[in-house]
Amino acid sequence: MMHPMIIRRPSSVLLLASLALCGANVMAACSSDSNGPSASSGGSSAAAGGNAGSGDGGSHHGATGGSDSAAAGSGEGGEAGSSGSGEGGAAGEEPGTVVVVPPAACSETAAWMGAAPLPSVSTTADERLLSITADELDIAFLRDGALYVAHRARAKDDFDAGTAVTLPAGYVADPGVALSADGMTLVLVASDGQSFASLSRSTRTADFGSAADPSAFQALNARAVQTLEHFAAPVLAPDGKSFVFSAFTPGQNGISVVYESLWVNAEWDMPRNISQSLFDGSGDKRPLPTGLSSDSRTLFYFDEAQSKELARFRDRPDAPLYDTIDLGALNGAIPNLGCNRLYYSKSGDVLSEVD
């Protein structure tokens, strides 16, 4: 794949001031550009930066985030507010403060190449990637419209042949599913589009249970009833602290936004709109999240309006997603832990590329 096109945010007085300081050999970040992928390459569950599936005593898994994370606050209308705002600034810092921004897990200058179908997952059937764990050991995908999951012992191995997942009544897989980082929990969207629930299993190689559990999503589900929004494209952060998804009112006159919810007090908290004024869509041409980097600083999503995959970058997990990379005519891009391998769908196959 050729080098991606990077769309830059506008310059500002603060940015120019930071550039001037950098010219004086001050060690500070002058943009959100990263210097390259993380040295970590994934491949083990223990290295996943905090499993989304680890709960107290191991009794609750990925849909509940694995660890409590304090919400940054609440905005008007009950939406969680970010702990800071402003282009390039950090929460609580005085204007003009030079803030060092460490390299992100995903590089804005990544040169993805070596596209190859995944053995055992890509067959003569029509497959579409839905989710893969950051350690690359568990994958969820559609095969001729049916939901399958597959496992492998090591990231360099082939996946097994895959097992069909029996969906509980009232839930579908086509709008998307999300695997927790430990592969033990699977987030589903209801067939009416207005609620989330999860399935769980005892081990990474066991079948998922048939009982849908909506308890971790009760605040989001109640909110959808009030706003009349529908859900799609759920994505769990590899560290289990945030949950990203699409919410929209159907039809060309509807509005589609991307929300991010934090794990607070054993459930997903009221969400904040992270696409507002940046990449909102309509009810029939939506930005659909597909993957989130291990540091939550890069969001991958498919833009139905442009029929292509994009990646957006931010300096901190609570900052706006400004800088954009055009990944072209692929769908469902998801990075591994080190963001040096990208998984996606194209032409009925599930493929991967390396940076």
15-19, 91-95, 226-230: which has the minimum mean pLDDT? 15-19
User: 216 versus 102: which is more confidently predicted?
Assistant: 216
SS3 content of the chain, % helix, strand, coil (to 5): 10, 35, 55
The confidence band for 179, taking pLDDT boundaries of 50, 70 and 90, is: very high
Number of continuous H segments (helices) and E segments (strands) in the chain: 2, 23
CA distance 123 to 29: 45
Q: For 292-313, what is the mean pLDDT?
A: 97
74-83, 202-211, 302-311: which has the minimum mean pLDDT? 74-83
Q: Tens of pLDDT along 236-273?
A: 999 999 999 999 999 999 999 999 999 999 999 999 99
Amino acid 99: pLDDT: 76
- Cβ contact 355:37 at 8 Å: yes
Asked if residue 339 has pLDDT above 80, the reply is yes
Q: In 169-191, which positions are buried (b, 16+ CB within 10 angstroms) versus exposed (e)?
A: eebbbebbbbbbbbbbbbbbbbe
The confidence band for 32, taking pLDDT boundaries of 50, 70 and 90, is: very low
* CA dist list (Å): 317 to 1, 314, 329, 346: 28, 7, 27, 29
How do the domains of the chain map onto residue ranges?
Answer: 113-354
Asked if residue 58 has pLDDT above 60, the reply is no
Contacts of residue 235, Cβ cutoff 8 Å, sequence gap at least 6: 131, 178, 243, 244, 245, 289, 290, 291, 292
CA distance 131 to 206: 17
Residue 332 identity (one-letter amino acid): G
Asked if residue 319 has pLDDT above 50, the reply is yes
Using DSSP's 3-state secondary structure scheme, residue 253 falls into coil
Arithmetic mean of pLDDT over the chain = 81
Q: For 221-230, what is the mean pLDDT?
A: 96
Structure token pair of residue 321: 């997603």
Asked if residue 233 has pLDDT above 90, the reply is yes
Reported pTM? 0.76
The CATH fold assigned to 113-354 is Tachylectin-2; Chain A (2.115.10)
Asked if residue 91 has pLDDT above 50, the reply is yes
Q: For 154-170, what is the mean pLDDT?
A: 97
Asked if residue 48 has pLDDT above 50, the reply is no
Q: Is the dihedral of CA 261, 263, 264, 265 positive or negative?
A: positive
User: 309 versus 55: which is more confidently predicted?
Assistant: 309
Amino acid 160: pLDDT: 97
Amino acid 101: pLDDT: 83
Please give the backbone phi and psi of residue 108, each rounded to the nearest 5 degrees, phi first.
Answer: -75, -15
